[in-house]
């Protein structure tokens, strides 16, 4: 079993590595929104940390908003953004061609950080699973997103 998921507790069972992601506001390149009608948001369903951060940031900045699209998958959110249905919180890795980043100059407040982690059940992993974990860890290191020294396990050992 192997998963990349949001971390609520640094002592979470099976957490191997964690890092910080700062979500960014994403919109279609040519989109413009009427703030009087509320910023249309493309969001995951209630309970999602990204959705909560969007709403919290806009509420604290006294910016009106409305949910224009709800979808459980990242692909649906990306399509909603690219097609101008709404603005969403994404990461720099999930931005697509046809999107632009919005920030304070555009009237969008910063979004709170999210801690993400790599989880796996070491005793249950096959040799192929161990190879996959090591590959993911190496790619995270190359991307510069796994520099959190709190929970590092550079290589798995099957001994």
Q: What is the pLDDT along the chain (159 residues), one digit of tens a residue?
A: 788 888 877 777 888 888 888 999 999 999 998 888 999 999 999 999 999 999 999 999 999 999 999 999 999 999 999 999 999 999 988 999 999 999 999 999 999 999 888 888 877 788 888 888 888 888 877 877 655 443 344 333 333
Contact in structure between 75 and 131 (CB atoms under 8 Å): no
Structural domain boundaries, residue 7: 2-20+114-151
Closest CA to 24 of 54, 52, 60, 67: 54
Residues 9 and 30 in one domain: no
Total tally of structural domains belonging to the chain: 2
Centre a 10 Å sphere on the Cβ of residue 96 and count the other Cβ atoms it contains. Answer: 12
Residues 97 and 31 in one domain: yes
CA distance 35 to 113: 25
Of 106, 122, 140, the position where a domain reaches its end is 106
């Amino acid at each position: 079993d192997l998963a990349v998921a949001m971390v609520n507790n640094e002592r979470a069972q099976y957490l191997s590595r964690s890092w910080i992601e700062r979500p960014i506001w994403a919109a279609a390149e040519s989109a413009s929104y009427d703030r009087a009608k509320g910023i249309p948001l493309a969001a995951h369903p209630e309970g999602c940390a990204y959705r909560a951060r969007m709403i919290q940031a806009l509420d604290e900045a006294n910016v009106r908003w409305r949910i224009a699209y709800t979808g459980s998958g990242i692909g649906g959110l990306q399509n909603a953004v690219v097609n101008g249905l709404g603005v969403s919180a994404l990461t720099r890795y999930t931005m697509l061609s046809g999107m632009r980043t919005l920030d304070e100059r555009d009237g969008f407040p910063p979004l709170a950080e999210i801690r993400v982690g790599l989880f796996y059940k070491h005793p249950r992993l096959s040799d192929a699973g161990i190879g996959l974990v090591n590959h993911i860890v190496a790619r995270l290191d190359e991307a510069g997103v796994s520099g959190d020294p709190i929970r590092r396990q550079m290589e798995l050992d099957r001994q």
